Amino acid sequence: MSLAIVPDSEAGRGLRRELGIRDLALFGIVGITGPRWIPAAAHAGPGSVAIWLLAGLVVGAPLAVVVPALMAKYPGPGGLYRWTRNDFGPAHGFIAFWLYWVGMAFWFPSAAIFYVTSSAYTFGPAYAHLADSRTFLLCCSLACIWIALGSNLIGLKTGKWTENAGAIAVGVLGAILVAAAALHGGRQGSATELNFVPKMDWRAVTFWAAIAYGITGAEYFGMMSAEIRSPERTVRPAIWLATASVVVLYAATTLALVVLLRPDQISEIGGIANGGEAAAQVFAAPWVSAGMGFLLLVNAFGCLGSVGTAISRMPFAAGADHLLPEAFGRVHPRWRTPHVALITLGLVSSGLLLLTQLGDPMQVAYEELVSLMFVGGFLPYLYMFASAWKAGRQLASSIGFGVTLFCLLCGVIPSAEVRNVWLFGAKLAAGTAAMIGSGWLLYARGGAR
């Protein structure tokens, strides 16, 4: 199949270079950090602190090595799509992009549900019942998705401040928990015996994949390549600063939660609220918990905006190559953003949010979203690390490839909360087949076009 491929030097035409090293580092911090993984790690016990540090070495560090190398080899927007296309052909490039994009489309509703649920708990007993209201969660989750994408739709010059605020907010939230834990530990000692040896429990393997997934996201830098000022000088320090900051934040806040509370007192979804209540008691200031809820919402808009902005550059690059309708490869004449790609992401994410609620309780629906997110998120990593091998980063590529395969295995195993394992497995298999099959169909249509 012969296709008209846009050269790397021309692919980013029309986009504006708005990200300096400060904005880029904050963009990476808010995009990589997932507050939902912190209570899940604390619920598993203090051994999670060691797992966070290990994940930083075997996931974060390899990504920080391979992403700048691939960006230097293949400049231009699109990141993962462009790297795979140039190394393995347009068909593989399109499938890699499509799997990743759909996986992140599943990530959007699952992240929005977490943020809304956790925030409702932090505002106190009078609002906690809203976390069990399907209507409230769906409406607020949809609002979060569209507000976050909308702020970046009107231009990265405006949208980057949403990302900057989100990164600062999650840092302040972590600092509050660490300060409260230090005071609590000094006065009463730790609520949990601090044994940092991880527990090897096969029933919790999904959690291991979640920890690794929580460190991913450095590839967003590559997707934004055409909008970074002097990428040859700014990307490498920014990506290492962002990765190190995220690992420290995860480890410190997980430790803070287990000092403040026993693991069985920390909910995997409402754990930030549990920590907020404990911090409010330590400081004798009831408003602290609500303040943390506000910070969580600010982080939500920054995180959703950062991720949405980055991944929209892949369909933009595929549209420029005529593998998607031509409109995907255009930038808005005033805002200079790939507006069609951003709006499409919002529509697909909203539809998936509604569809996954059919027939299951919210908790099981949430787990189905997370498992499909793991599949879509990790499968394209196999392509990325294979490209890194060809770029001369063999050690980082080997580590990353092995960890990715392990996470794919762990990520599809249902947790104890899933009662109907067969239905869960059938939905997961059908979702995975639909992602791959729809990608091949779209590629075939693009080739014919």
pLDDT digits (tens, 9 = 90+) for 334-363: 888 888 988 998 898 888 787 766 555 555
Q: Are 38 and 253 contacting, i.e. CB atoms less than 8 angstroms apart?
A: yes
SS3 state of residue 232: helix
Structure confidence at residue 1 (pLDDT):
46
Query: Does a structural domain hold residue 3?
Result: no
Residue 34, domain extent: 8-448
Query: Does a structural domain hold residue 226?
Result: yes
Q: Are 86 and 74 contacting, i.e. CB atoms less than 8 angstroms apart?
A: yes
Query: Does a structural domain hold residue 264?
Result: yes
Query: Does a structural domain hold residue 1?
Result: no
Q: Are 119 and 293 contacting, i.e. CB atoms less than 8 angstroms apart?
A: yes
Q: Could you report the per-residue pLDDT of 130-180, keeping only the tens digit for each?
A: 777 878 888 888 888 898 888 888 877 787 889 999 999 999 999 999 999
Tell me the residue type at 13: R
Q: How many domains are there within the chain? A: 1
Q: Write down the pTM of the prediction.
A: 0.88
Q: What is the CATH number of the domain that holds 285?
A: 1.20.1740.10
Query: Does a structural domain hold residue 83?
Result: yes
SS3 state of residue 228: strand
- Of 142, 145, 143, 117, the C-alpha closest to 130 is 117
In sign, the C-alpha dihedral spanning 60, 64, 67, 70 is negative
Query: Does a structural domain hold residue 2?
Result: no
Query: Does a structural domain hold residue 180?
Result: yes
Query: Does a structural domain hold residue 66?
Result: yes
pLDDT over 60 (residue 6): no
d(CA 256, CA 237): 28
Structure confidence at residue 436 (pLDDT):
85
